[in-house]
Every structure is written in C-alpha cells, then in structure tokens.
Structure 1
Amino acid sequence: MDLAIVILNWNGKSWLEKFLPNVLLYSGEASVYVIDNASTDDSVFFLKENFPQVKIINNKENHGFAGGYNEGLKKIDSDLYCLLNSDVEVTENWLTPVFSLFKNNPKIAALQPKILDYNRRTHFEFAGAGGGFLDNLGFPYCRGRVFENIEADSGQYDDEREIFWASGCCFFVRSKDFWEQNGFDARFFAHQEEIDLCWRLKNTGKKIFYTSKSTVYHVGGGTLNKQSPTKTFLNMRNNLLMLLKNLPLQTLLWVLPTRMILDGFAGIYFGYKNGFAHFIAVLRAHGAFYARILGTLKLRGKVQIEKYFETKWLVFKNFL
C-alpha cells in the first residue's frame, strides 16, 4: 500500500518552512506533494530551492480546500492519500498504526490520528481532537471538544474506534473511495467538506476511524482565523447544505426547520460576542443556502443512513 502525503498550500511559506522538515523526516517511503493553490508569496520558489524531493502541483487559481484538493489529487496516483494541513507537526512513527488499520480493515475508507494543540500540547485541538461526531441537530463536535470547550488529554480517548467524521487537518483516505464519491463537494470551498465526504462514505457502508496510536499537533487558523466572519459564513452555509444532502427525509423534515430557528439565535449571539459582521455572516449563509437548495437536492444519494448522530443533545447554552 503506497501513500502520498499531500499538503495544500496558499501563501503558507512560513508553515512549510517550520513543519515540512518533520514530515520528510518521519514519513519513510511515502511520497510528499505540495498542491499550491495559486499562492502570491514565494512558496513555490522556496520549495524548489530547499526541498527538491517534494513534488509540486500548481493549481491555476485558488479553489479553496475542497476544490484545491480535488484538482491537485487528479495528478497523484497512490493507494492512500494523507491530506495534511501545512500547520501540522507530525511525530515519529505516526504512520505505522495508520497503515495497520487500513491493511486489516478493508471497510475503513478514512481515518484520523489524535490531534493535539501545538501551542498547548497537553490539550486537544479544536479541529478534530479525538474524533468527530454530529449531534441530534447536525452540529459537528469532537471527543475532546464541544463548541469552544477544549479538554486536556488525560488518556480518556486512547483507543481505536469508529467515528462519524475525520478531521481535514490530517485526513487519511483511500484514493479509490475518495474518487468513487467524486472527491469533496467543491461548492463548499472550505469547512465541513470532510464531514460531508465522510457522511457520503458512510452512506455506502464504509467506515471512518480514529486511532490514538498516532499523534499530530495542529496550530489551527493558519489560513482562516477562527474569529473571521468568513469562517462563520462558510461553517453555517456548508453545514446546512450537508444536512440537506445527506439526512434521511423523515429526519430532515424536523431537523432543518429547527436549525433555522437556532441559527437565528446563534446569529444574534455571534453578533453580540464577535461583532456585527458575524451576524451578517449568518444571514449571508442562509441566503447562500436558499440559493443552492435545488442544486443540492439533485446531489442527494440513493441511501441516507438513519442513525447519523450520537444520542446526545448539545443545547444552546454550549454556545455561551
């Protein structure tokens, strides 16, 4: 089983300079690629001068995370992809347990390692933590992180188990399964495209896994800061699109109206907490969702699994 480690770059020279050496040091025989999303800094020149062993794929424009990977991965022939954020520090032997799971479990389509915070190394990191799930209303959360509440890593998630979604910051996926689903939904641009892909994979009977035997450290916010209104817009819009595309009809009929109401309250709260631009971002997200309803309905699969969530309610107080 051959592996391609693929880093998507957009004006990220400083991250590549800091974290790429460890990727090369600890990744054995894996091939390392950088897909450049039409950077305007000197990232590509820097790579050519300092890391000639890294293969570079140049996208003609910035397609975002989803489209950027879709375009670049078309040019990479490998059994297994590792889609790795440029602001991730990998560790020694991080690939060994990953190979083991994929080799011994043919139904596993995608998986993630344990993801800890690079700047607070005793704690989980926001984007993925100990494996991703959805609550009853389709809000994503992770073991080790619920909304803004981050847990310290005390070994409570030292296991290997099935999860609902694997984090895009360090996302292992079989190339065959990736392309059978036509890759990411490029309309998402960035945020939650990996959850949507994992959901589609699960709808076909595939499994998504987490292993604590592999650990990486993620800085987070390297391309788009958590406080950005654009991030609020993308998360809100994409989550609604994902629900419309993947929920069973009988569940969709009550979840979507409920979410519309809760999103209104969330918009007011985000505006109060983070500034008026975030309130506007929620309104824009709903407008963009309405404009894409017909197109999204055409993408609904033939099968939607009924038990898509954990039996856990995340109430509105978790926003506070």
Structure 2
Amino acid sequence: MNLSIIILSYNTSGLLRDCLQSLSTNTPPATEIIVVDNASSDDSVSMVERSFPRVRLIRNKSNLGFAAANNQGIKVATGRFLLLLNSDTIVTENSLSSMTTFLESNPLYGACACRLLNADGTLQVSAYRIPSLLNIIIHSTIPLRRLFPGLVNTYPSQQFETDFDAEYLSGACLLVSSNAIAAVGALDDNFFFYAEDVDWCKRIRKEFNIRYLHKPAIIHLCGGSTKGGTVSLPSRWSQKQHRRSLLLFARKHYKITGLILMRGLFVIGFFLNTGYHLIQLLRGRDSRREWSSIQIGFELLFTPVGGRE
C-alpha cells in the first residue's frame, strides 16, 4: 500500500460524506481510507457502512480527541505515506498524487501539505512558524495583535504563492512519511484538541524537512470538524481546549520556566483584553458579546494544562 488516508469523524456526517465522495474520484492507486469515529451521535457510522463499504471504520465508544483517535488510524495504516485529513475537506484532482510524489522524490522531507482553500476559493493560511512564548501571547491579546501584526507566527501572504520549507503545517491536511513516524513517533496523546500538529511538526523537523506545496489544493470548510458540521466562531469549549493545549506545549517544549512565564503573561493579556472590551462597550458595541468575551477571558486564567474539560 502506498497511501493511507486517515479521517477523524465526529458528528460531521454530511461533511464526511462529501469528503469521501471527493476521494472516490481523486484518490491515487494503492490507497486505503481509514475513518476513525469519535463516538458520533449522528449517522456518521451508518452512513460510512452503507455508502462506503470499502472504507475501514474504527468506532470509538467515547470522544478520544484528535491525537489519540488519529493515532488509532496510524497504528493500523499500511501505507508508505499517511495523510491526516479533516472530514470537512473536499479533495481535488491530482492534489494527493502531487503530495505523495513530492515525498517519494525527496527523502529528506518527512512531511508536506498542499494549499488549503476556503469554500469561496480564497487562500486559507495553513503553514506557520513554531510559536514562541512571545508570539503566543501577542496572538492571544487583541491590542498587542493589532499593534504588532508582524510578530504573530504566520508567514507573509505572498509566500504562499510559492513552495517553501515551513516550520509547521496544519493537521487539516498533512502528509507524513512512515519513515518520519518511525523516527519521531506518532502524535502526542496528551494533546486532546489543538497544537498536536505543532508539536508533531516540531519533532519531525529535528530529523527531516517539512514542505508547503502551493500548486496542489484542497477545499477546507474550516471549523466544520470542530463544530459538528457547522462552521462558526470558536465556542467557549474550543477556546478552553486551545488554551489547555498551548499551556501543555509550553510545558513540553519550554519547560516549567516557560509555563510559569506564559501563565503570568496570560494574566497581563487578560487585563489588556478586558480594557479593550470595556472600550468597545463604551462605544456602544454589542454588550452581550463584549461581556461574554470578558467572562471567557477570566475563565481562561484558570485553565489547567492539557487534557480535556
């Protein structure tokens, strides 16, 4: 087997069906598809069994999170290359074959990804720099993010018009060689949701290079996998999971000193964000939204490291 495609499913039956349908016409030869269902309450499992009988289906009795569930697929995959693919994606012609061809021809690279497009065809940022403590705080603090846009962990938009070596790639569509997995291991199960792709790419880059390919593309309906099929703004739950994962990433890669520093900077960020939202209230903005943002910010101060809520 040359390519194993691993798709995590969680209450996205309609999106998953469209994703699998796109794979049925745009999959290279010698490809296996593995769907790992995280205890969906919709008809995702029965839909796969009924409409896509050749797909290998793993049914979980509970929601194991992104990393642990994908690791189940990685464990049973037989391909030389393994693709992590979100259920809210539409695969286009030649996109997968272009990625596998690149890794086959460039053994110094352990992972690659293609261009991600929004539903309207616009570019979706999917390659980033590994976050430092500084740009994590800047990204999490609205006033600082507006004052120092160049210090967040993204690349300039024009860079996405060419191929380039990236520090980490989005796990929405990430092709990894089996050699890279053998060298650095699979995803870290301690990350329940968010930052597991950052951690994985950081480990892969110790042994291999990582490449962003700008010509092949797939459509990513960003947020559908998180929201059970509905694309929307981050929920309170997802914001807390994001904070948990950032703290875990800091503890793992920047040690206890980095974790303590990040906690302190998040407190400063809370007061800056609160001041921003209070100003918006005085300007007559949506009071419910602004008060909700302040409340969530306060709750995030007490978010534990890693795990799930």
TM range (shorter): 0.7 to 0.9
Q: Distance in 2 between matches of 1:139 and 1:218?
A: 25
**1:275 is the counterpart of 2:293:** yes
Letter of the 1:5 partner, please give it. I
**Partner of 1:114: helix, strand, or coil?**
strand
Aligned positions, number: 275
Give the structure 2 partner of residue 183 of structure 1. 186
Larger Rg: 2
CA contact (8 A) 1:131 1:163 kept: yes
How far has the Cα of 1:159 moved from its partner? 1.7
Partner of 2:218: helix, strand, or coil? strand
Quote how far apart the aligned CAs of 1:256 are: 4.8
1:156, 1:175 → 2: CA distance? Answer: 28
Q: Which residue matches 1:91?
A: 92
Letter in 1 for 2:24: L
Report the TM-score when normalising by structure 2: 0.78
1:237–1:288 Cα contact (<8 Å) kept: yes
Distance 1:149 1:172, change over 3 A: closer
Look up the match of 2:305. Answer: 288
Task: Tell me the residue number matched to 1:211.
Answer: 213
Corresponding position of 1:110: 111
Alignment partners' CA distance in 1, 2:134 and 2:86: 25
- Report the Cα offset of residue 146 of structure 1: 7.8
Q: Which of 158, 161, 165 is the matching residue for 1:158?
A: 161
Q: Secondary structure at the match of 1:191?
A: coil
1:167-316 equivalences under 5 Å are: 167-203=170-206, 205-222=207-224, 223-224=226-227, 225-247=232-254, 253=257, 256=259, 258-268=261-271, 272=277, 273=290, 274-285=292-303, 287-288=304-305
Residue 19 of structure 2 is aligned to residue 19 of structure 1: yes
Superposition deviation, residue 198 in structure 1: 0.8
Tell me whether 32-41 or 275-284 shows the greater mean CA deviation: 275-284
CA distance in structure 1 between the partners assigned to 2:62 and 2:219 by the alignment: 29
Which amino acid in structure 1 is aligned with residue 128 of structure 2? Answer: G
Deviation larger for 256-265 or 217-226 = 256-265
In the alignment, which residue of structure 2 is the partner of 1:301?
none
Q: CA deviation at 1:139?
A: 3.9
SS of the residue corresponding to residue 275 of structure 1 reads helix
Mapping of 1:39-50 within 5 angstroms?
39-50=40-51
2:127 aligned with 1:131: yes
CA distance in 2 between partners of 1:62 and 1:36 (Å): 8
Aligned partner of 2:129: which letter?
A: F
Shift of 1:114: 0.9
